[in-house]
Amino acid sequence: MTDGWPLLSLLVLVPLFGALLILLQRGDEERVGEASRGSAFLLTLITFILSLAAFFRFDPTLKAGHFQLVENIPLFPAIGLSYHLGVDGISMALILLTTLLMPIAILASSHVEKRVREYMVSFLLLESVMIGTFCALDTFLFYVFFEAGLIPMFLIIGIWGGPRRVYASFKFFLYTLLGSVLMLLALIVLYLKAGTTDMEVLLSGGKLIMGIDMQKWLWLAFLASFAVKLPMWPVHTWLPDAHVEAPTAGSIILAGILLKMGGYGFMRFSLPLLPDASAYFVPMMWGLAVIAIVYTSLVALVQEDMKKLIAYSSVAHMGFVTLGLFAFNMYGLQAAMFQMISHGVVSGALFLCVGVLYDRMHTRSIAAYGGVTNVMPKFAVLFMVMTLASVGLPGTSGFVGEFLGLVSTFMASRNPPFPECAATFGWSQTVAFIATTGVVLGAAYMLWLYRRVMYGEVGNAEVAGLKDVTLHELVALVVLAAVVIWLGIYANTVIEFLAPSLERLYGQMTMQPICRIAPMRLP
């Protein structure tokens, strides 16, 4: 399988070496800055093209949904660490999302004038480790990539962020770190139990033989990390702070990709490796997801800061991902993946829109705007597309994800994974009903945001003087809008692409339990 170019290594290494090259430039700060801006954009484009090459080499029709483009080099045998990369449909889709959003994030950074070189280096390093996270097939290597992303993001928020950047960067770092070290302990235990860090082996060898109690502890340790990353209520509080303070491009990457690592983690570790525990914790996860959807939607409704509003909406949208993942049916998994991709594009675009306004007005307060449509017509159209996608209007990508998520939850009671869970899953229609109110609330806060910012009389002289989008911004937004609409109309392309991998995952999730679990009740 390793014939031809090691595409995945290239994907990881091109941004890394690009970052080193940029770091080596010497000379006048301004010129170095401009040069690194250009070269960073070029490098992310090259990475995008490489990811397309990987995409075309990848064979989605392979029925078993096995890993492809595998590379495996032992690194540190004493602890079983090896450099082991490979992709299935799930990771391929997320890698494409990453490489698509990166050039757009760089385009969105034209306002950055302070320490441009270090900024670009941080973003390239971040891209490298994000791609690494999505294609690592060694549990420790996964952790290394998963965690290494904290360093560049910490610097991005802390150096180029807003007034409370120090607070936000520390909160981001420490929250995520606490979750991750617990996951590290779980990964070590997994290694000690299974004797391997090879995820191909772990995922293909059926279930690990371990008691339900052990499964539950490991599952909770994984949850600590993925729940913070996703983020789920009540450990979501770092997200609004990080988003508000991060520079525009930082927010795009944070919402667009870093949050997806949480969902990806559930799909790689919790669900397939610990299915009994996953089924056991379904009531809790549904509960948390519903709270996330309804509560954070209500919170979003009263925000006065545009970025904060979108940040809270992210938590709500990620609630649908959680619902889908724990519905234990194919629709649910499709919903989770689709919602992750869609949210990556839509929220990235929304943060970009806020960035466009912020660059011109230097305020994110909703009250400072009004009537922007009159002066920025092109922007108004694109912002509208993204708002509607976030609301979940049919025809946009947001609809497919939310709709599938709700359908999967409605249907969960029909087909519980294990007979013992039937009682729990009987609640699924109630859960889905409550979650649906989140869709209504979503429409409320997004459309209200749009009305207050864009419609009405021109609010003040500053708004009257606004210039419409520049070429850079236009290109970035149009590309994203095209993706959003394409995904909304031809959703099947993505779903078919993912089908074999998701079916494999579904099979692992619903394998008959080795240890019988006690009947479960809602807590």
What is the binding site for another protein (CB under 8 A)? Answer: 75-79, 140, 143-145, 147-148, 150-151, 154-155, 158-159, 165-166, 169-170, 173-174, 177-178, 181-182, 184-185, 188-189, 191-192
Nearer to another protein, 155 or 257 (CB): 155
Nearer to another protein, 24 or 518 (CB): 24
Nearer to another protein, 158 or 348 (CB): 158
Q: State in Å, rounded, how far the first CA of the chain is from the last one.
A: 48
Q: Least separation, in Å, of the C-beta of 518 and another protein?
A: 23
Q: Least separation, in Å, of the C-beta of 13 and another protein?
A: 13
Q: Least separation, in Å, of the C-beta of 120 and another protein?
A: 15
Nearer to another protein, 117 or 260 (CB): 117
Q: Least separation, in Å, of the C-beta of 182 and another protein?
A: 6
Nearer to another protein, 67 or 173 (CB): 173
Q: Which residues of 205-227 are buried (b: 16+ CB within 10 A; e: fewer)?
A: eebeebebebbbbbbbbbbbbbb
Q: Least separation, in Å, of the C-beta of 31 and another protein?
A: 17
Task: Copy the structure tokens of residue 252.
Answer: 């795009």
- Unique residue bearing structure tokens 């970009």: 352
Q: Least separation, in Å, of the C-beta of 230 and another protein?
A: 19
Q: Least separation, in Å, of the C-beta of 159 and another protein?
A: 6
CA distance 173 to 180: 10
Assign 3-class secondary structure to 65-129.
CCCEEEEEEEEEHHHCEEEEEEECHHHHHHHHHHHHHHHHHHHCCCCCCCCHHHHHHHHHHHHHH
Reported as half-sphere exposure (CB side, CA atoms, 13 A), residue 280 has a value of 20
Q: Least separation, in Å, of the C-beta of 42 and another protein?
A: 24
User: Residue 71's beta-bridge partner residues?
Assistant: 85
Nearer to another protein, 144 or 444 (CB): 144
Task: Find, among 404, 403, 425, the residue nearest to 416 by Cα.
Answer: 425
Nearer to another protein, 188 or 375 (CB): 188
Task: Copy the structure tokens of residue 206.
Answer: 């059926």
Q: What are all long-range contacts of 372-376, with beta carbons under 8 Å and residues at least 24 apart? A: 372/453, 372/454, 372/463, 372/466, 373/454, 373/455, 374/458, 375/458, 375/463, 375/464, 375/465, 375/466, 375/467, 375/468, 376/466, 376/467, 376/468, 376/469
Contact 321, 405 (CB under 8 A): yes
Nearer to another protein, 188 or 361 (CB): 188
Q: Least separation, in Å, of the C-beta of 3 and another protein?
A: 27
CA distance 311 to 241: 9
Residue-wise DSSP of 36-50: HHHHHHHHHHHHHHH
Query: Helix 165-194 vs helix 150-160: angle between axes, to the nearest 10 degrees?
Result: 180
Nearer to another protein, 143 or 338 (CB): 143
